[in-house]
């Protein structure tokens, strides 16, 4: 296997919204920047197909008091995106949102409608509308162009799979080319992780189709697992993430639909709206993401998104925003099947997106490992978060390099070759299990033992079975080509993540949100204002409780 060496000041792992924004800002400040992406930055990441909403504070719209805006915003479902981050981080985010929106508009991502800022969706009737509607269908090509204008070196089709460290600081990373027989050693002064969220840990909506997920199936928690293995801390990994959308046609964009969620008898399932309302939408599933699943289990479902009674203006609004939210395939399917949302209710369901978790960072986005930063879903959910903290972490990463320099990877050849030995082992086996077999086994264990209902007995048994699966995966999993090799490495990351989920769920002896312990049915109020931290000690996860950094 050929080895290539690349050197930079700032390495952005992942070319999503956050990685590109970090690369753009770091390059503006004079840094030599590489953005490494295992796909292609033009369409990679959760928002590669588009997005139509951006959490944003605009004084001329919301009033001059940003703190009043934040206080109201934290009563909405948006508060979930900031859970466990502390108010200092929230204020830093909100204060920068309008600057980013104006930048994007200048670059060619439209943020106004008919010359005005338009806020809609994900809101309680009469309450704060904090999500700006913007035309994000081409956001990735636009940001890619801005990065290239600043001489950012974009390295597509390379999966970074491990970090290199020196004396308690990040020193670079190791990646493999997804098309050719090449391993790449990256030498960097700072590394910014932005590899997205987690899919494929739990079964998809349709178990026979592994990739039927609302987000990209290649988002497998790579960044947070690299950070964890390198010595950084993670938080709240055991908390599950639920979403809602059309049954069996997994897509985000719940708030882009206009209508009322109704039961089979035509009754609204929530108290918020009784007729289609595009400015606020039906926020019922924001109050309880599991409500559609609960209805089905209780024999009261299915639940439908009912657009009957909408105005022509409502309908035109949907048709405009669907493509920007990445819902063009949904429009194509509806047209092909003769489905008209104005006439035909659409059945919705709850999606189990996997686990939450994030890298523990300070207000600058820096992890406990010096020179390592986390952005996007490694930190919090949403395009607004990814773009703002991508920008801010780009600045922080450059400051770190100016003060600490680039550690260098002299003498690390053996370390790189050790990482490469796993790649060689997976690729050279002539017989064994393919990645899909291991992935399905992992999903079954997670679903059966760390699913919607948890107990100490179930979690302990699941942890035991997962340990067996991990051992077998390292012994017999094989990759017949480069595509399968990438999937194998992703599955190994997911197994590590599963270990942390089991340990965290065992240690969290309470019921809170989506984490339901049947043997501990109450929420322990002593844990309010705390985060559940996991770190690796002697190859195994250990957990502890820590107060949120205010």
What is the domain-level CATH number for residue 149? 3.50.50.60
Are residues 296 and 165 both part of a single domain? Answer: no
Residue 393 covered by a domain? yes
Q: How many C-beta atoms lie closer than 10 Å to residue 344's C-beta?
A: 14
The answer to whether residues 196 and 376 touch, using CB atoms and an 8 Å cutoff, is yes
Domain boundary among 412, 429, 446: 412
Token pair belonging to 181: 């027989």
Are residues 350 and 433 both part of a single domain? Answer: no
- Cis peptide preceding 302, ω within 30 of 0: yes
Are residues 367 and 503 both part of a single domain? Answer: no
Owning domain of residue 87: 53-135
Are residues 362 and 476 both part of a single domain? Answer: no
Are residues 227 and 372 both part of a single domain? Answer: yes
User: What is the pLDDT at residue 409?
Assistant: 59
Residue 44 covered by a domain? yes
Are residues 158 and 236 both part of a single domain? Answer: yes
The number of distinct structural domains making up the chain is 4
Average pLDDT of the residues in 174-193: 95
Token pair belonging to 51: 């997005």
Domain boundary among 135, 168, 199: 135
The answer to whether residues 279 and 129 touch, using CB atoms and an 8 Å cutoff, is yes
Answer yes or no: is pLDDT of 488 > 70: yes
Among all chains, which residue has been given the structure tokens 């204002």? 529
Read off the pLDDT of residues 220-256 as tens digits, 9 standing for 90 and up.
Answer: 999 999 999 999 999 999 999 888 999 999 888 888 9
Domain boundary among 72, 105, 135: 135
User: What is the pLDDT at residue 264?
Assistant: 96
Are residues 457 and 467 both part of a single domain? Answer: yes
pLDDT, mean over the chain: 93
Read off the pLDDT of residues 45-85 as tens digits, 9 standing for 90 and up.
Answer: 888 889 999 999 999 999 999 999 999 999 887 888 888 88
In which band, very low, low, confident or very high, does the pLDDT at 410 lie, cut at 50, 70 and 90?
A: low
Residue 550 covered by a domain? no
Residue 311 covered by a domain? yes
Average pLDDT of the residues in 464-491: 97
The answer to whether residues 372 and 365 touch, using CB atoms and an 8 Å cutoff, is no
Q: How many C-beta atoms lie closer than 10 Å to residue 298's C-beta?
A: 8
User: What is the pLDDT at residue 361?
Assistant: 93
Where is average pLDDT lowest: 179-183, 210-214, 453-457? 210-214
Are residues 367 and 288 both part of a single domain? Answer: no
Are residues 263 and 322 both part of a single domain? Answer: yes
Are residues 258 and 346 both part of a single domain? Answer: yes
Residue 350 covered by a domain? yes
| Cα-to-chain-centroid distance, residue 262 | 29
Residue 322 covered by a domain? yes
Average pLDDT of the residues in 275-293: 91
Under the phi-then-psi rule, with left for phi > 0, alpha for psi from -120 to 50, and beta for the rest, what region is 121? left
Average pLDDT of the residues in 344-363: 88
| Separation CA 510–CA 491 (nearest Å) | 29
Are residues 34 and 148 both part of a single domain? Answer: yes
Are residues 37 and 155 both part of a single domain? Answer: yes
Average pLDDT of the residues in 424-450: 96
């Amino acid at each position: 296997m050929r080895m290539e060496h690349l050197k930079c000041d700032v390495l952005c792992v992942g070319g999503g919204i956050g990685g590109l924004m970090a690369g753009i800002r770091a390059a503006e400040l004079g840094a030599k920047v590489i953005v490494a992406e295992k796909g292609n930055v033009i369409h990679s990441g959760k928002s590669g197909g588009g997005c139509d909403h951006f959490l944003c504070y605009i004084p001329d719209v919301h009033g001059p008091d940003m703190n009043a805006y934040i206080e109201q915003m934290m009563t909405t479902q948006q508060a979930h995106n900031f859970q466990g981050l502390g108010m200092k981080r929230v204020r830093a985010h909100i204060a920068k949102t309008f600057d980013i929106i104006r930048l994007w508009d200048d670059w060619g991502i439209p943020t106004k409608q008919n010359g005005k800022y338009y806020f809609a969706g994900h809101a309680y009737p009469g309450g704060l509308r904090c999500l700006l509607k913007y035309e994000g269908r081409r956001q990735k090509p636009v940001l890619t162009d801005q990065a290239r204008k600043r001489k950012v070196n974009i390295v597509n089709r390379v999966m970074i799979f491990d970090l290199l460290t020196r004396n308690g600081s990040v020193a670079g990373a190791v990646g493999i080319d997804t098309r050719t027989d090449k391993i790449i050693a990256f030498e960097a002064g700072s590394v910014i992780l932005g590899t997205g969220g987690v899919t494929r840990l739990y079964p998809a909506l349709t178990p026979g189709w592994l990739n039927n997920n609302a987000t990209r199936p290649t988002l497998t928690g790579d960044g947070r697992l690299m950070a964890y293995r390198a010595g950084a801390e993670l938080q709240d990994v055991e908390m599950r993430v639920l979403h809602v959308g059309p049954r069996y046609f997994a897509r985000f964009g719940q708030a882009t639909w206009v209508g009322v969620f109704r039961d089979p008898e035509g009754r609204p399932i929530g108290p918020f709206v009784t007729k289609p309302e595009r400015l606020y939408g039906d926020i019922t599933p924001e109050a309880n993401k599991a409500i559609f699943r609960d209805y089905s289990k209780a024999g009261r479902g299915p639940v439908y998104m009912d657009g009957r009674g909408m105005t022509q203006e409502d309908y035109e609004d949907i048709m405009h925003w669907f493509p920007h939210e990445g819902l063009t395939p949904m429009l194509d399917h509806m047209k092909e099947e003769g489905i008209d949302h104005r006439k035909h209710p659409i059945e919705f369901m709850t999606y189990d997106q996997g686990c939450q978790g994030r890298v523990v960072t300070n207000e600058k986005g820096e992890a406990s490992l010096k020179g390592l930063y986390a952005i996007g879903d490694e930190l919090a959910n949403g395009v607004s978060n990814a773009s703002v903290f991508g920008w801010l972490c780009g600045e922080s990463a450059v400051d770190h390099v100016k003060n600490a320099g680039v550690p260098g990877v002299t003498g690390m050849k053996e370390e790189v070759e050790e990482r490469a030995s796993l790649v060689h082992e997976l690729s050279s086996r002539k017989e064994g299990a393919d990645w899909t077999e291991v992935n399905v086994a992992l999903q079954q264990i997670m679903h059966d033992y760390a699913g919607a209902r948890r107990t100490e007995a179930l979690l302990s048994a699941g942890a035991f079975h997962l340990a067996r699966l991990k051992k077998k995966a390292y012994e017999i999993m094989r990759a017949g080509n480069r595509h399968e090799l990438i999937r194998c490495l992703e599955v190994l990351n997911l197994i590590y993540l599963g270990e942390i989920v089991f340990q965290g769920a065992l240690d969290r002896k309470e019921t809170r949100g989506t984490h339901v312990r049947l043997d501990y049915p109450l929420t322990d109020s002593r844990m309010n204002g705390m985060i559940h931290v996991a770190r690796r000690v002697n190859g195994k996860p250990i957990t502890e409780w820590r107060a949120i950094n205010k």
